[in-house]
Every structure is written in structure tokens, then in C-alpha cells.
């Protein structure tokens, strides 16, 4: 448990250093991986500007390898479009 807490703290430090200064330029922050860990990281008060930008979309990330993370970027930028037929006209 202490190891996981330390890892979350280190991750929060990285987010604070890299994303917080850029938060004003970001449209959204798409997260992924272990949901509990991400939730724990984003509870850090320093990360409030980033947490406020968190998108509803949550990506599955198996192994954090470069190819997997690159695919995540593509999926994070994807747009879901729902096309519906108009309701039938009443006569």
C-alpha cells in the first residue's frame, strides 16, 4: 500500500510540474489506466486546474508501453458521432 501511495504522489508531482502550468491551454484531460489510481492522483489539491478539465472518457491502458500510449492519444482525440433518423412526420 505504501508503494502505491508513493507512486501516486510521484505521479501527482509530475502532473503538477507538466500539466498544471499548461491547464489554461488545454481543452480537456483524458485519463486512463487504473481508475482508482487516477482518482487518487487527481485528489491532490495542486491538480485542481487539471482535474476540472477531466473528460468523461476513460481509456483502458493495458501495458504502459509506447505503442499503447500512442494508441491512447489517437483514441483520446477520437470524436464519437451519433446519427439519428428524424422522427416520422405525423399526418
**Per residue in 62-82, pLDDT tens?**
777 888 878 888 888 888 889
Q: Crossing angle, helix 2-18 and helix 35-42, to 10 degrees? A: 60
Which residue range(s) make up the domain with 71? 2-77
CA distances from 37 to 7, 31, 91 (A): 9, 11, 56
Identify whether 63 is part of a domain.
yes
Number of domains observed in the structure of the chain: 1
Does pLDDT of 48 surpass 90? yes
Identify whether 89 is part of a domain.
no
pLDDT number for residue 1: 62
Half-sphere exposure in the Cβ direction for 85 (13 Å, CA): 3
Does pLDDT of 91 surpass 70? no
Does pLDDT of 50 surpass 90? yes
Identify whether 87 is part of a domain.
no
Q: What is the pTM of this model?
A: 0.71
Higher local confidence (pLDDT), 23 or 60: 23
Identify whether 25 is part of a domain.
yes
Amino acid at each position: 500500500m505504501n508503494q502505491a501511495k508513493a507512486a501516486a504522489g510521484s505521479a501527482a508531482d509530475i502532473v503538477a510540474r507538466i500539466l498544471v502550468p499548461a491547464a489554461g491551454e488545454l481543452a480537456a484531460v483524458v485519463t486512463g489506466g487504473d481508475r482508482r489510481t487516477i482518482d487518487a492522483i487527481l485528489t491532490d489539491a495542486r491538480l485542481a486546474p487539471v482535474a476540472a478539465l477531466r473528460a468523461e472518457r476513460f481509456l483502458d491502458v493495458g501495458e504502459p508501453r509506447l505503442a499503447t500510449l500512442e494508441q491512447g492519444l489517437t483514441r483520446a482525440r477520437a470524436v464519437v458521432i451519433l446519427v439519428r433518423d428524424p422522427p416520422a412526420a405525423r399526418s
